[in-house]
């Protein structure tokens, strides 16, 4: 009974620490993304970042508000991805503004391959790199103003796809030469 409670507490602690690490990472990412965004017009944020969306939305909003940005929110049913059903001009008229900026942040997962080499062998390792694409559009024209990317990799994050050490092409030759030398020495020594 006590072991089960201890195990549950340890699992809960791991989840809390993971959430705190994700929040700290989201704050760092939001700081870099906020540098790309100018606060000259009202801003609509549209984030498509998977599991990063809630933490990144909060951190990015905080950073933009600290810069003095005029952030606007859309009703949950509306979005700028379906412009035929909800024209931008109607949304802007509801807020009483003529122009605004739509900032779209999308997450793309890229796998970086790292090779660890030694004289006789090498192995490869795949590391995840989170690439955040930041597009800024001028509304209602949907004119693309700026495109930026920010790449982030978690420190200490590794994929389970570490390959087994592989031999280089000349290793069998060296091993064969060493074995032949030993056989020759044993043959000639009396």
- Quick one: pLDDT band at residue 135, thresholds 50, 70, 90? very high
Q: Which residues contact 103 (CB under 8 A, 6 or more apart)?
A: 37, 43, 44, 45, 46, 134, 135, 136, 137
- Quick one: pLDDT band at residue 190, thresholds 50, 70, 90? low
Q: What is the SS3 assignment for 49?
A: coil
Query: Given the structure tokens 């790309």, which residue do they identify?
Result: 36
Alpha-carbon separation of residue 36 from 40, 71, 135, 138 (angstroms): 12, 15, 10, 15
Q: What class, spelled out in words, does domain 27-188 have in CATH?
A: alpha beta
Domains of the chain: which residue ranges?
Answer: 27-188
Over residues 104-125, the pLDDT tens digits come to 999 898 888 887 777 666 777 8
What is the value of pTM for the model shown? 0.65
């Amino acid at each position: 009974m006590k072991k089960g409670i201890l195990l549950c507490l340890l699992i809960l602690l791991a989840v809390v620490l993971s959430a705190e690490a994700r929040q700290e990472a989201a704050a760092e990412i939001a700081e870099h993304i906020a540098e790309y965004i100018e606060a000259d017009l009202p801003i609509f944020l549209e984030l498509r970042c998977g599991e990063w969306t809630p933490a990144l939305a909060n951190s990015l909003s905080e950073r933009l508000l600290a810069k003095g940005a005029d952030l606007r929110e859309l009703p949950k049913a509306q979005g700028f991805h379906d412009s035929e059903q909800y024209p931008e001009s109607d949304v802007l008229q509801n807020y009483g503004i003529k122009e605004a900026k739509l900032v779209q942040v999308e997450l793309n997962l890229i796998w970086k391959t790292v090779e660890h080499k030694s004289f006789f062998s090498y192995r490869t390792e795949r590391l995840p790199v989170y690439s955040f694409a930041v597009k800024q559009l001028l509304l209602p024209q949907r004119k693309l103003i700026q495109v930026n990317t920010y790449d982030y990799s978690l420190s200490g994050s590794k994929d389970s796809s570490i390959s087994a050490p592989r031999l280089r092409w000349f290793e069998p030759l060296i091993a064969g030469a060493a074995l032949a030398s030993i056989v020759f020495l044993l043959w000639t020594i009396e």
